[in-house]
Structure 1
Amino acid sequence: MIFLILLLAIPAELHGADEKSFDINKLWSFFKNEFQKTYYSDREERFRMNIFASNLGTINAHNDRAEKGLESFTMGVNKFSDLTFDEFSSKYLGGRFRSKGFSSWFLGGPINHLADPSESLPDFLDWRESGIVSSVKNQGACGSCWSFSTVSSLESAYMKKTGNKTTLSEQNLMDCSWAEGNLGCNGGWMSDAYRTVTRLGGIMSAADYPYAGRDSISCKYTQSKAVLGVENYATVDGLANMKSAVAKTNVAVAMEVDNKFQHYKNGVFKSSGCKNTPKSLNHAVNLVGFGKAVIPVNTTRDGESTEVDYWLLRNSWSNSWGESGYARIQTGQCGIEFVGFYPIIKLI
């Protein structure tokens, strides 16, 4: 796409440049066309354009540091570039993550996954290569990340067990999980979603229960159309246990998203902006692999680097975000190993 190619050149063009040395109106027009943006009034559009310009400045300042070897990842313009971080958080992150009591987060599941000290794990793993990870989806402007994370883990468990692909319904969980305390577009928790599937007796396909991206208290689950059920689930926490679990399957995890992650484009993500506390968790994703990468050391001297471990993270913000919908995030960053879950499914 011409727009995306142009954006790759923007950091060099804007470095040290006066605001008038580039045409923000032209870039704004490209942005609106690429992401099909419309606004209800001229005043709203001016407001959004000012936010876009501010975000563009943040992106280019960061990428200038990346070019100098001071950052391990790059940022880019995406569909969120006309939103402040507060707006982005309210629309795309899971509110219940912020409001749920700390103690209830870590009560654990029926199974507590513990690493076997004698097991030998590879340096690199990517479950996409085995065909058990479904295509990246788009949750839209709804804090339903918890349902997408849950469904992704269920789909992978099904594909690993049967060898067949399936696409399950996030809306099924959103509409039917209120009894377990999940709140639709206002957030939820993956273990509670597994409990919903167990209570219902299964989960339907996306074709039979399509995604609407909005709240409904009308549960339309039909047992005869269920694809699979949940027999049990496991809780995972800590780096060693998480790596052992990801070596086994796709793991649904909670993480903290900061304003840098909103603009992530590629590379190995790390951020000093993350609080790295359980109470700061605000998003649900999936870990579908891990690896090692050489990244620059944050120093004023060029050429210094170090090898780090990273997670391969599957998001639900469409394939226009990040590395075609994925991210690599350094281990120990943004609470990524605090808590995760994976299901033990049963066929119906």
Structure 2
Amino acid sequence: MDHRLVAPLLFLLGLLFLSSAAATSAAGDEEPLIRQVVGNADVDDNDLELDSHFVSFVQRFGKTYKDAEEHAHRLSVFKANLRRARRNQLMDPSAEHGVTKFSDLTPAEFRRTFLGLKTSRRSFLLEMGESAHDAPVLPTDGLPEDFDWRDHGAVGPVKNQGSCGSCWSFSASGALEGANYLATGKMEVLSEQQFVDCDHECDSSEPDSCDAGCNGGLMTSAFSYLLKSGGLEREKDYPYTGKDGTCKFDKSKIVASVQNYSVVSVDEEQIAANLLKHGPLAIGINAAYMQTYIGGVSCPYICGRNLDHGVLLVGYGASAFAPSRLKNKPYWIIKNSWGENWGEKGYYKICKGSNVRNKCGVDSMVSTVSALHAPKE
């Protein structure tokens, strides 16, 4: 098939399968739909070549397996993930997909171990304009075309949540790090482990959906916890372990406190305005394409809006050329919590703009936090 026909064909097929996409999104896994649209994408597989790629993967990421059986299993998963990366590449041609440090994990293992955003009615209530913490509407005239809080000192180092579903805590701490910087002029690297060990706050719209350490949580619930507890300690005072533990919170060591928080409407101009006013924003996203993401601007033809991963929105860009779409693409800049050896040194870019509104649910769950000028005593 002429490669020039691939993009239009995929778009038309995507429209045909929208009903399937909705059903798949409800199940939390786009993989069957992507496979249905683009096929197996496994022609030209060569076992010797794949074995060689696996050896390089093991060496590059320092992988070890307990025995020959586990090694064989991970090799088979790796091969399946290479085919999956090819499918993702066809569906998301403006990004680069391939081998990552997660290439020996099944999609189910990846979701269970490295995501952790709990499902909530909050994003759906927000779509309908209903929230107890609605952010006020901000003026959007004169917003800059490009903006990145990394250039202004409000973003801390990229961290690694490890094999713990605590993404929500990194999203929340990152937002407070930025807000505290705006309030005090000082970058304090804050503790996620305090959230993991001590925060058991429940979402007001879903009392059964409570923050649960490595078993997931919500950023807005985390902010509510901080309002009640007084704030966060430094990471060096309450270091991250990547596992659930006993709460060791010391109120005398608080260095950043929440004044208030709010939920931003599903509107890209309002999101950008709140980003500039309040600093980095805590957001939810659908991570369907992130397991195989290497770099570039992710703008998949089909992506569900069910949210399963908490990340930090730190900026946006006006244009990144997308050859497959023959034009420049505006994009959001997202800080992740999988270490610097994932993505673009720990960062992810996803397209923005009116013609791709809410891609992968990126606009659906956005919250901002304001910090006190001095921590509570």
TM-score, L = length of structure 1: 0.84
Q: Please say if 1:255 is aligned against 2:288.
A: no
Instruction: Measure, in 2, the Cα distance between the counterparts of 1:335 and 1:179.
Output: 24
* Partner residue in 2 for 1:269: 298
Q: Following the alignment from structure 2 to structure 1, what is the Cα–Cα distance between the partners of residues 257 and 73?
A: 47
CA-atom RMSD in angstroms? 2.3
Give the match for residue 106 of structure 2: 84
Letter in 2 for 1:256: N
Q: Which residue type is aligned with residue 250 of structure 1? A: P
Tell me, which stretches of 5 or more residues in structure 2 are unaligned? 1-40, 203-209
Amino acid at match of 1:251: L
Task: Give, in angstroms, the shift of residue 237 of structure 1.
Answer: 2.1
Which portions of structure 1, spanning 4 or more consecutive aligned residues, are displaced by more than 6 angstroms? none
Residue 108 of structure 1 corresponds to which residue in structure 2? 131
Say which SS state the counterpart of residue 108 (structure 1) adopts.
Answer: coil
**Which residue number in structure 2 is paired with residue 341 of structure 1?**
367
Q: What letter matches 2:152 in structure 1? A: S
- Spell out the pairing of 1:1-348 with structure 2 (5 A cutoff): 17-20=44-47, 22-60=48-86, 71-94=93-116, 96-97=118-119, 100-101=120-121, 106=126, 108-110=131-133, 112-117=135-140, 119-180=141-202, 181-216=210-245, 218-238=246-266, 239-248=268-277, 249-258=279-288, 260-276=289-305, 280-296=306-322, 298=324, 305-331=326-352, 332=357, 333-346=359-372, 347-348=374-375
2: CA distance, partners of 1:150 / 1:227? 15
CA distance 1:282–1:26, shift in 2 (3 Å)? same
1:4 alignment partner in structure 2: none
Q: 1:124 to 1:19 in 2, by over 3 A?
A: same
Report if aligned partners of 1:153, 1:251 keep a CA contact under 8 Å in 2.
Answer: yes
Distance in 2 between the 1:318 and 1:49 partners?
A: 23
- Partners of 1:128 and 1:328 in 2: CA distance: 14
Distance 1:95 1:16 in 2: 36
Distance 2:152 2:273 in 1: 17
Q: Assess, with a 3 A threshold, how the Cα gap between structure 1 residues 154 and 103 changes in structure 2: closer, same or farther.
A: closer
So what's the TM-score if we normalise by structure 2? 0.78
SS of the aligned residue for 1:247 comes to helix
Please give the alpha-carbon distance, in whole angstroms, between the structure 1 residues aligned to 2:124 and 2:322.
39
SS at match of 2:118: helix
The alignment covers a number of residue pairs equal to 317
Distance 1:176 1:17, change over 3 A: same
SS in 2 for 1:54: helix
| Pair 1:345–1:62, CA change in 2 (3 A) | closer
Over 3 Å counting, the alpha-carbon distance change for 1:57 and 1:171 in structure 2 is same
Deviations 1:90-149 (A, max 9, x none): 11111522xx345886463545142314x3101111110112101110001111010000
Q: Is the 8 A contact 2:122 2:131 kept in 1?
A: no
**Preserved CA contact (<8 Å) 1:108 1:235:** yes
